[in-house]
Structure 1
Amino acid sequence: MSQKVKNPEEFEAPITEHLAELRIRLFRSLVAVIIATLVVFVKVDIFFELFKEPLRKVFPDLKLVALTPTESFFTAFKIALLVGFVVASPFVFYQIWKFIEPALYEEEKKLVVPFVFFTTVFFISGALFAYFGVLPLAIKFLLTFGYTQLDVEAMISVSSYISFVVRLILAFGITFELPVILSLLARLGLVTPEALSKFRPYFVVAAFTLAALLTPPDVVSQVFLAMPLIVFYEISIIMAKILYPRSERSKENQV
């Protein structure tokens, strides 16, 4: 007997549904970021002063300059976009979770609140670490080096300075998400503590490579980003051992 061929739409429906769901989640996240950005833009001068504070701490007399007529406007927009993303990040992380939620078991779905909470907390913690710790040290080192070693007097454009600050803050914010992501993957049984331990030497190299790509080209920023990455990786291994499902471990032992 010949087998009945199923309607291709039966295969395509799940894919189209996933794509439609992804489009909706992305659209909602984008709208949230845009709204938050516009709200922040109204009071962007307050945030601009906050962004200038790390520079003001180490070089209080140094003034930022605008080299083109449009530079100040686009710099203000860049600040509003970053702050708007941070403000909207809990909603964005929630949308990410809701997209992957249908593929999870009921027990795994209970992780939504911890996931949104910890991703938000760790991202903001990384941003604050960069703002209060790394930025003043990096600025002082770079400008002092130029002045003492090369006899170069600093005249920094507002765009280049804000780009430097934004890049560093985003790099640290994303880096601080590592324990949350790896812990979640371990809890879902997608990675094992043993695999993370074996990958440790390669991760150290990857950490410094990633730090060189994400941060401005100075040793201070790169070291300050690579070291937390390595520390967080070790924390992730410990968390993976705690959170890895016992059922998965039992299956591995039986094999």
Structure 2
Amino acid sequence: MADSPDKNKEDELAGTEQPFVAHLMELRDRLLYCVYGLVVAGILLAIWPGPAGLIDVVAIPIRAHMPPDAKLIAVGVFSPFFVPLKVLLMAAVLLALPWLMYQAWMFVAPGLYSHEKKFALPLIIFGSFLAYAGIAFVQFFVLDKMFGFIQHFTPASVAATPDIASYVESILSLYLAFGVAFQVPIVVMLLVRFDMVTIEKLKAFRGYFIVLAFVVAAVLTPPDVVSQLALAVPMCLLYEVGIVAARYFSKHTRAPEESADSAQS
């Protein structure tokens, strides 16, 4: 008599169980590898382009809307020291992001079935790409349009000399908001894959998601129309991308027994 699907699943991971202490040691090793990756990325970035060069890069969007001889100012006593370090750490995390995601993958991979491993790694790669896309969107589009909008309402008698610490904190929050918000397709694909929702329900929820996207944008972005639209509109578009991708993703990442059951039904 043929083995049942449940028995096949159990056989695939039979003997791979590890004690709790072994899991803790594995987690410790992966976290150490993450730290090593961040240190290497930080050293490389400190050598080139250096903290000052990184500050110049992140300041490009606002400098484009300031007078040619104007500069950002450092109000805090320790800002000239800590702000470049904060930017360096942020850049190191971005540079090491694929390595960090790989360590997460290596930690969870031993406990996954073969059909789950097929989609876990592509999701990690896709998620990293979406995070980079969100941050690039902020750097090359959102900040320029946002500062241009703000500058339009600045009186001619007012000299705009932003504080570097305040500026860096603002753009870091935008990087984080867009990097997370651009993960919408990943969330949609996983919800469908694990049968938490159906594609039909996602389509019916489309109108509510548009409202939700604008609410999230209003909370996470500065109180200007440009940045709010720049976050809400891509979220809505990525929701549609997630619906389209979820159909293909769910179909091609099922376990063999699940595909057989679907074909029989």
Measured against the shorter chain, the TM-score band is 0.7 to 0.9
**In structure 2, what is the Cα distance between the partners aligned to 1:249 and 1:143?**
57
Map 1:63-102 → 2, pairs under 5 A: 63-102=71-110
SS at match of 2:153: helix
| 2:204 paired with 1:208 | no
CA distance in 2, matches of 1:103, 1:110: 13
Distance 1:182 1:25 in 2: 28
Shift of 1:254: 8.6
Q: Is the 2:34–2:100 contact (alpha carbons within 8 Å) kept by the matching residues of 1?
A: yes
Does residue 155 (structure 1) correspond to residue 161 (structure 2)? The answer is: yes
**Runs of 4+ with >6 A deviation:** 252-255
- Structure 1 regions of 5+ residues with no counterpart? 1-12
> What is the CA–CA distance in structure 2 between the aligned matches of 1:97 and 1:185, rounded to whole Å?
19
Matched, 1:26 2:34: no
State the secondary structure of the residue aligned to 2:155.
Answer: helix
1:20 to partner: Cα distance: 4.4
CA contact (8 A) 1:122 1:177 kept: yes
Asked if the contact 2:66/2:160 (under 8 Å) is kept, the reply is: no
CA contact (8 A) 1:93 1:119 kept: no
2:61 matched residue in structure 1: 54
Cα pair distance change 1:163/1:204, threshold 3 Å: same
Query: Are 1:171 and 2:177 counterparts?
Result: yes
Which residue of structure 2 lines up, in the alignment, with residue 123 of structure 1?
A: 131
Same amino acid, percent of matched pairs: 36
How big is the alpha-carbon RMSD for the aligned residues of Structure 1 and Structure 2?
2.9
Question: Comparing 154-163 with 203-212, which one deviates more in the overlay?
Answer: 203-212
Q: Can you list the C-alpha shifts for 1:55-76, whole angstroms capped at 9, x where unaligned?
A: 2223243310011221111110
Q: TM-score, normalised by structure 1?
A: 0.80
Give the structure 1 partner of residue 41 of structure 2.
36
CA contact (8 A) 2:63 2:71 kept: no
8 Å Cα contact 2:83-2:165 kept in structure 1: yes
Amino acid at match of 1:179: P
Q: Given that residues 40 and 80 in structure 1 are in contact (C-alpha distance below 8 angstroms), is that contact kept between their aligned partners in structure 2?
A: yes
Note closer, same or farther for the CA distance 1:252–1:15 as it changes in structure 2 (3 Å cut): farther
3-state SS of paired residue (1:58):
coil
Structure 2 unmatched runs, 5+: 1-17
Q: Which amino acid aligns with 2:53?
A: I
Structure 1 residues 195 and 37: CA distance shift in structure 2, 3 A? farther
Equivalence for 1:192: 198
1:228 lines up with 2:228 in the alignment: no
The worse-fitting range, judged by mean Cα deviation, of 14-23 and 244-253 is 244-253
Question: CA–CA distance in 1 between the matches of 2:202 and 2:105?
Answer: 23
Distance 1:26 1:147, change over 3 A: farther
* Aligned amino acid, residue 110 of structure 2: P
TM-score by length of 2: 0.78
Aligned length: 242
Higher helix share: 1
